[in-house]
Amino acid sequence: MLQPLVQSLIAAERPVLAAHGITMWGYAVLTALDNNTVRTQAALAEAIGADKTRIISTLDRLQADGLISRDPDPRDRRARILAITARGSDACRSARAAIQANEERLLARLPADERLGFLRAVEALSRLTREEIVGGPG
């Protein structure tokens, strides 16, 4: 039931992100960095559910566009410390505002009590860890 809705929401987000010069993976990176939840490329890949070798091209583009910086970790020269730039933060927040405006437009179609119940359920489910969602033996 959720898959068609999620796919439609992704389709609605793509032109918004493109208008901000960001890909979907780029937006995931900027959001994680804007929330200050990660510092290294390995931690970032884990946080956004990406393969650490496959996000390199996304990081390269974001860095070339001046949206992030990647500096050698002084404690481990093999690692890179990631940081969002002011320009990256502005782009991320602007894209987020446009995405949220569309979400608000859609949620306005629900009666107030159903909207509140839906948002509570989504919030509760979003607090689950990846392991809790994927499940496993037991």
The length of the chain is 138
Report how far apart, in Å, the C-alpha atoms of 28 and of each of 47, 48, 58, 73, 111 are: 9, 6, 10, 22, 31
Q: How much is the pLDDT for 40?
A: 85
Q: In order of start, what are the domains of the chain with their CATH numbers?
A: 2-134 (1.10.10.10)
CB atoms closer than 10 angstroms to residue 62: 28
Task: Return the SS3 of 78.
Answer: strand
Q: Which residue has the tokens 């001046």?
A: 66
Q: In angstroms, rounded to a whole number, what is the distance separating the alpha carbons of residues 28 and 92?
A: 9
46-96 confidence digits (pLDDT tens)? 889 898 888 999 999 999 999 999 998 888 888 889 999 999 999 999 999
Q: How confident is the model over 84-135, as pLDDT tens digits?
A: 999 999 999 999 999 999 999 999 999 999 999 999 999 999 999 878 988 8
Question: Which pTM was predicted?
Answer: 0.84
- Give the model confidence (pLDDT) of 12-26 as tens digits: 999 999 999 999 999
Total Cβ atoms within 10 A of residue 40: 16
